[in-house]
Amino acid sequence: MTGDDPDDEASADCVPSDGDPSDGGKADAPPTVTLADIEDARRRLADVAHRTPLDTSRTFAEMSGAASLGLKLESLQRTGSFKIRGAYNAMAQLSPAEREAGVIAASAGNHAQGVALAADLLGIEATIVVPEVTPAAKIAATRGYGATVLVEGDIYERSYEYAVTRADETGETFVHPFDDPAVVAGQGTIGLELLAQYPAMDTVLVAIGGGGLISGIGTAVAPADRDVRVIGVQPEGAAHAGPSLAAGEIRQLDDVDTVAEGIADTRMLETTFAVASEVVDDVVTVSDREIAAAVTLLAEREKTVAEGAGAAPLAAALSDRLDLSDANPAVVVSGGNVNLTDHAELTRTGLFELGRYAEARLALAAWPRQVGEVVEAVTAEGAELDTLERARRTAADRPNRTPVTIGIEGRGADHLDAVLTAVAEIDGVSVVERSVADGD
- Catalogue the active-site residues: 83, 334
C-alpha 364, offset from chain centre = 42
Q: 78: part of which helix (H) or strand (E)?
A: none
SS3 readout for 52-73? CCEEECHHHHHHHCCCCCEEEE
Q: How many CA atoms lie within 13 A of 268 on its CB side?
A: 29
Tell me if 208 sits within 8 A of 232, measured CB to CB: yes
Peptide bond before residue 368 is cis, with ω within 30 degrees of 0:
yes
Asked whether 239 and 316 are in contact (CB, 8 A), the reply is no
Q: How would DSSP label each residue in 14-53? A: EEE----GGG-S--SSPPP--HHHHHHHHHHHTTTS----
Half-sphere exposure of 368 (CA within 13 A, CB side): 4
In this structure, which long-range contacts are made by residues 378-381, counting pairs with CB atoms below 8 Å and at least 24 apart in sequence?
378/406, 378/408, 378/419, 378/422, 378/423, 380/422, 381/410, 381/415, 381/418, 381/419, 381/422
Q: How far apart are CA 295 and CA 292, in angstroms?
A: 5
